Structure 1
Amino acid sequence: MKNSKNIFSNYYINFSIIYIIISIIALLLIRQQTESIIYMYPNSFEEVKTINNISFCFLFLSLTIGILFIYIIRINIVKFSNDIIDNIDAFISGKEIVLEVNKDTLLSKIQNKFKCMIEIMENKNNRYLEEKDSIKSLIADISHQIKTPIANISMYNETLINRELDRDKQIIFLENMQHQVNKLEWLVKSLIKMSRLENGIITLNIKKYRISDTITNALSGIYLKAEEKNISIDVDIDEKLELYHDKKWTSEAIFNIVENAVKYTKDNGHINIKLDKMDIFTKISIIDNGIGIDEGEINHIFKRFYRSCDVINTEGVGVGIYLAREIINKQSGYIKVESKKDVGTTFYVYMKN
């Protein structure tokens, strides 16, 4: 603030000195011109003297008014600059900023722009903090999820090295190790997909495709698991219906939901998939008669790595449903869930027509 006062004081002094010098030069010129007129016309001395006095008075008055005007401008400029500097200082120190954004003044207009700049900076800072928290949470989740398979692999490997086992037991341990390696590989791939989706790295190729082809592609990877549990999958869809979507990623989302249904449906169960075309959206219903979800947990199943206590012993890490929602949301759609314990669960996938 002191710097701004010194700067404008210097400007004021310099401008005043220049104004005074110009006024003095003007007085000298008037004096010189008066002497020339008197020399040329000696009889007009009194008239010239009167004109000269009037000119001096007028010039002195204009000099006084000019200096006063400059002084007033200087006060306003210093006040204007100090108000802006006070706002900047308050913003830097985190104090409340009082902005007069509703007045029709230059200061108000600048303060309005300053307010917009503050809001942009605060939004960027909030996004940075959210991203930072998200990264910290992701690292913590990754650390927790990979700890178990790595510990199991280490234990199996140590047993094979330090103990003499017959061939059959070696094969069992090696198969267990392979299972943990597969789990770790699947987890890493899922984490990469999550990271790419959350950070907007992927570019969705949204075009008009037949949704039946996308669903068929999704089911091709799940039929074997369904057959192992003798679970029937019935599909009732319009094979000609076309929707705007990314074929690859939408197939991934539907696969995750159906795989989840197979996983939590008991042997000899059934899964139904059907379409309902509406005005804006097409609803894909994935209905199972599995173990169901407790009402208090429905709002949590879309959280990253969330797993219910009821299924803690079932294979999985709680990523599939989270990924499914992210994929559908990226395409301006959404997912709803209805479930009843020990009766079954229905996932509704709404996609834009």
Structure 2
Amino acid sequence: MGRKRNEMEEFSRALEVLLAGETLRLSDTSQDTLPSKIRHQLMRLSDAMAGSRERAARDQQEIREMIAQLAHQMRNPLANLESYLELLDMEEDPGECRFCLDAVKDAERKIRFLTEGFLKMARLEQRIIQIRKDAEDLEKTVLDCILQEQKAAEEKGIELLMTGEHPKPVRHDAVWLGEAVCNLLDNSIKYSPPESVVEVELTANEMFARILVRDFGVGIEPEEEALIFQRFYRGVRTRGSEGFGLGLYLAREIVRQHDGFMKVTRRRQGLETAIYLPEE
């Protein structure tokens, strides 16, 4: 009787330790007895709770880093917005007023882009947005993206060239995968010279369908292949151009939620960025 009471007190203390969020340490968990099995289950519960606490701490740290990064990215557009609004309030010359208004609109556009990108990023990371995969025509999804980016390409005299084919339907969310492909095209157009070509190639094998975007732009440094998918990362060769380093990060998150992966390949001139989607 005294032994059972001691065991019950031991289990009660163990539960108090777990409820306090502390690490539980119990011995004698390997014997084939009921008390030993209970100790074993309590240790498993302790390990699971410790893992949950670690994940929660990582999530909180990531959120803090995201907010800090967003605040850093917002600083310049907000400062510009404030400055030009002050100038607009004092300026009487119509030409100068127009200049200030254009600058205000540009700052507002950048802030809106950052805000929308941040919200998409947070929702994708937290799985708030559900990727709904259906067997759809991959060629149509890619072609829709090319048509969407056509105007930006024409403004620089860039030809968007689509090659290859994929007649077999591929399970994907056309809206979200389209966003990923548009991000790749947007980057290629932005960092390519005028009067050049951006190629989009569709290929497939038994395991994967591949969407390859190839450009002849500024490219990246050798050490940047492992960095360019990071949130807010800007390549050394692109830091003088407009951008915030969100496009490739968002594209990779979208592709990951399609159970696919992305790969970048440096070329002598330009860059190849590929999306791989599983054939099901």
**TM-score when scaled to structure 2?**
0.92
Q: Equivalent residue for 2:91?
A: 163
Q: Equivalent residue for 1:132?
A: 60
Q: Equivalent residue for 1:292?
A: 219
* 1:178-225 deviation line (CA, Å, top 9, x unaligned): 111111112111112112111111122210111111111111221122
Aligned length: 278
2:259/2:278 contact within 8 Å kept: yes
Q: Equivalent residue for 2:43?
A: 115
**TM-score when scaled to structure 1?**
0.74
* 1:248-290 deviation line (CA, Å, top 9, x unaligned): 0000000001111111111222211112211121111111111
Relative contact order (alpha carbons < 8 A, sep ≥ 6): 1 or 2 greater? 2
Q: How does 1:22-61 map to 2 (within 5 A)?
A: none
Q: Show structure 2 runs of 5+ residues with no match.
A: none
One-letter amino acid of the structure 2 residue matched with residue 121 of structure 1: M
Task: Indicate the larger mover: 91-100 or 243-252.
Answer: 91-100
SS of aligned partner of 2:226: helix
Q: Equivalent residue for 1:350?
A: 276
Q: Which structure's CA Rg is the greater one?
A: 1
Distance in 1 of aligned mates of 2:15 and 2:129: 40
Counterparts in 2 of 1:124 and 1:94: CA distance versus 1, 3 Å? closer
1:212/1:241 contact within 8 Å kept: no
2:81 to 153, 156, 159: 153
Deviation, 1:245, is 0.1
2:23/2:46 contact within 8 Å kept: no
Deviation, 1:101, is 2.4
Distance in 1 of aligned mates of 2:21 and 2:103: 59
More helix by share: 1
SS of aligned partner of 1:287: strand
Q: How does 1:259-298 map to 2 (within 5 A)?
A: 259-298=186-225
Q: Equivalent residue for 2:250?
A: 323
RMSD: 1.9
Distance in 2 of aligned mates of 1:280 and 1:274: 17
SS of aligned partner of 1:306: coil
Percentage of pairs with the same residue: 27
Task: Indicate the larger mover: 324-333 or 136-145.
Answer: 136-145
Distance in 2 of aligned mates of 1:220 and 1:300: 29
2:176 to 213, 231, 249: 249
1:258 to 161, 165, 185: 185
